Amino acid sequence: MKKNKTKMYADIISLHNEVTGSCIICTVRFPNKEKIRFLVDCGLFQEEKYQLQNFSFPFDPKEINFVLVTHNHIDHVGRLPKLYKDGFTGNIYASKITSMLMPLALYNTAEILSYSFQKNPNKYKKIIEDASVPVFFNNDVLYDSKDVEGMLNNVIGKEYNQSFKITEHISATFIPNAHLLGAASILITITYKSEEPIYLYFTGDYAVNNRLFDVEENNKIYNLPINIIQESTYGTTSIDTINHTFKNDILSSIKNKETCIVTVFSQGRAQEIPYELKKMQNEGILNPSIPIYADGKLSFSYTDFYLKHKEFLKKDEIVQNFLPHNFHYVSDNLEREKLLADRSCKIILTTSGMGNYGPAQTYLPYYITRPKCSIIFCGYTTPESLGGKLKQVERYDTFNLNGLMVKRVAKIFSTNEFSGHAKKEELLDFLKKFSNIKSVIINHGNTDVKENYAREVINKISPKDVAILDNKNYIRIYAYGIAKTFNAPDMNILPRHRIKEKELF
């Protein structure tokens, strides 16, 4: 590690330790004493244990110069209105598509947040039932729709693969990424006079390909002397362990004339699963007379967006018209109740993916006790979520469901084939494309996964330095790579115990 105090450098640290609440703080210092501080993402913490962290920032939002957004998942954008409410006035840059999608997620979240249980229980109950966004509640309102509106006024949508200047010395490029429609990896280029530039590459949540849209590769990045901040959600999961069971599970359920419940995330899975079902209908293996229902208000908005913007999707005939035959939206409680009473064979797609929010809270407790039912989880579920809890119960065992003792009778399946994150081999293959890596900084994974994946990177890629991004250490980066890491004060702070900004930076 070299020392050169006169050169520019960037210090990076994250607010999140693991997977949700994504927010990377990057402070760039130039020899002329100029300081630029920006964020990459500003997401909600979704786990209950981190809930209170949603209510404050361990820095002054007024001092953030700008924000870059990787993609429209609530754990990456859900605290932007809070940042605005607390005084941030800078620009928020996102890909053009993400800038169009963000209002859907954020107004929905504000709507959920704006009703407190004490004020209007009935209205609150309805909102919670319809909610597809997992957020926790508190007597404080985190933000409201006015904050969302103000924040959205500062959003600037940018085309993919076109570098744009943000400040005199900092420019950025959004590079297409298959994680989600609109998702981008972000290249930051920092220059100062005749100094060697610093290149920071934030992969964001990253996937290699997507069922519904193509990604255009950017070959210009591979020869840069680069520092890669790489996600590692599935950094220890081998591609060989992916089970492609969805098709068979659906078909065996239909063969038994069951009701088949599939839990979906509002954006992504809620469009990919109908596409898979349509393919099965076209292949002649799924009878189109079996009705398919979709439930979850926010998922309808996203599906509508996809169908209105077919120019963003693959040109393939099935993708362009991905809704299967005999597909129906469940538009209100009455229809939902009718559906619950109906004993005939059908498929129901419901939000939320983990079962904790949205109409899944009605379907899962009801169907878990019923014969002639299969429940398919096609996304990750945390162990504390409703889906995670149900998965742990053996069939025909009696268990405690929110205080009620019930017997699990339904069949439960889960598949990881729809995951929007690259697996270990894909993450390593991505790194192999670069010829001049200065450092790899492992981000966005459970603590043990990040460290184990870091070992893989050291063994298979051998970059000069490998570091772990979390809220405990700053990583100082010069043009030649990492200079050092150093401890940060405890960032796990609660409201009203805000650490003074100067203590942190």
What is the DSSP secondary structure assignment for residue 485, as one 8-state letter? Answer: E
- Residue with tokens 């990456």, as numbered in its chain: 76
Nearer to Zn ion, 92 or 181 (CB): 181
Report CA 120 to chain centroid distance, whole Å. Answer: 31
Q: Going residue by residue from 325 to 364, which x/- string records binding to Zn ion, judged by CB under 5 A?
A: ----------------------------------------
Encoded amino acid at 427, one letter:
L
Nearer to Zn ion, 359 or 420 (CB): 420
Q: How far is the CB of 231 from Zn ion (least distance, A)?
A: 7
Radius of gyration for the alpha carbons in the chain, expressed in angstroms and rounded: 23
Nearer to Zn ion, 258 or 470 (CB): 470
User: Does residue 249 interact with Zn ion by CB under 5 A?
Assistant: no
CA distance 377 to 417: 11
Encoded amino acid at 18, one letter:
E
- Residue with tokens 């290149």, as numbered in its chain: 199
**Residue from the set 205, 258, 295, 456 that interacts with Zn ion by CB under 5 A:** 205
* 183, 202 contact by CB (below 8 A): no
Site for Zn ion in 24-43 (CB under 5 A): none
> Which of these segments, 73-81, 214-222, 255-263, 387-395, binds Zn ion (CB under 5 A)?
73-81
Size of the site for Zn ion (CB under 5 A): 2
Nearer to Zn ion, 95 or 189 (CB): 95
Nearer to Zn ion, 347 or 449 (CB): 449
User: If residue 366 lies in a helix (H) or strand (E), which one and from where to where?
Assistant: helix 360-367
Taken as a whole, the chain contains a residue count of 505
Q: How far is the CB of 85 from Zn ion (least distance, A)?
A: 23
Q: How far is the CB of 301 from Zn ion (least distance, A)?
A: 18
Site for Zn ion in 448-487 (CB under 5 A): none
Q: How far is the CB of 421 from Zn ion (least distance, A)?
A: 8
Q: How far is the CB of 240 from Zn ion (least distance, A)?
A: 24
Q: How far is the CB of 204 from Zn ion (least distance, A)?
A: 8
> Which of these segments, 33-41, 68-76, 277-285, 478-486, binds Zn ion (CB under 5 A)?
68-76
Count of Cβ atoms closer than 10 Å to residue 39 Cβ: 27
Q: How far is the CB of 380 from Zn ion (least distance, A)?
A: 10
Nearer to Zn ion, 14 or 253 (CB): 14
User: If residue 36 lies in a helix (H) or strand (E), which one and from where to where?
Assistant: strand 35-40
Nearer to Zn ion, 346 or 421 (CB): 421
Nearer to Zn ion, 179 or 424 (CB): 179
Q: How far is the CB of 473 from Zn ion (least distance, A)?
A: 21
Residue 29 pairs with which residues in a beta bridge? Answer: 9, 35
Phi, psi of 75 (to 5 degrees): -80, 5
CA distance 305 to 299: 10
CA distance 505 to 137: 31
Q: How far is the CB of 14 from Zn ion (least distance, A)?
A: 12
Q: How far is the CB of 66 from Zn ion (least distance, A)?
A: 21
Q: Where are the alpha helices (DSSP H) in 286-359?
A: 297-308, 317-320, 333-341
CA distance 500 to 428: 39
* 106, 81 contact by CB (below 8 A): yes
Phi, psi of 56 (to 5 degrees): -155, 160
Q: How far is the CB of 145 from Zn ion (least distance, A)?
A: 24
> Which of these segments, 33-41, 197-205, 245-253, 261-269, binds Zn ion (CB under 5 A)?
197-205
Nearer to Zn ion, 453 or 478 (CB): 453
> Which of these segments, 200-208, 256-264, 332-340, 384-392, binds Zn ion (CB under 5 A)?
200-208
Q: Report long-range pairs for 120-129 (Cβ below 8 Å, ≥24 apart).
A: 128/357, 128/361, 129/333, 129/358, 129/359, 129/361, 129/362
CB neighbour list of residue 347: distance below 8 Å, 6 or more residues apart: 250, 254, 259, 260, 262, 277, 290, 291, 292, 293
Q: Going residue by residue from 394 to 423, which x/- string records binding to Zn ion, judged by CB under 5 A?
A: ------------------------------
- The beta strands (E) that lie in 180-279 are given as 184-190, 198-202, 226-231, 259-263
Q: Going residue by residue from 162 to 191, which x/- string records binding to Zn ion, judged by CB under 5 A?
A: ------------------------------
**Residue from the set 7, 73, 79, 424 that interacts with Zn ion by CB under 5 A:** 73
Nearer to Zn ion, 78 or 463 (CB): 78
Per 3-state DSSP, the chain is made up of helix, strand and coil in percentages (nearest 5) of 30, 25, 45
Nearer to Zn ion, 205 or 465 (CB): 205
Tokens standing for residue 455: 């070992």
Binding-site ranges for Zn ion (CB under 5 A): 73, 205
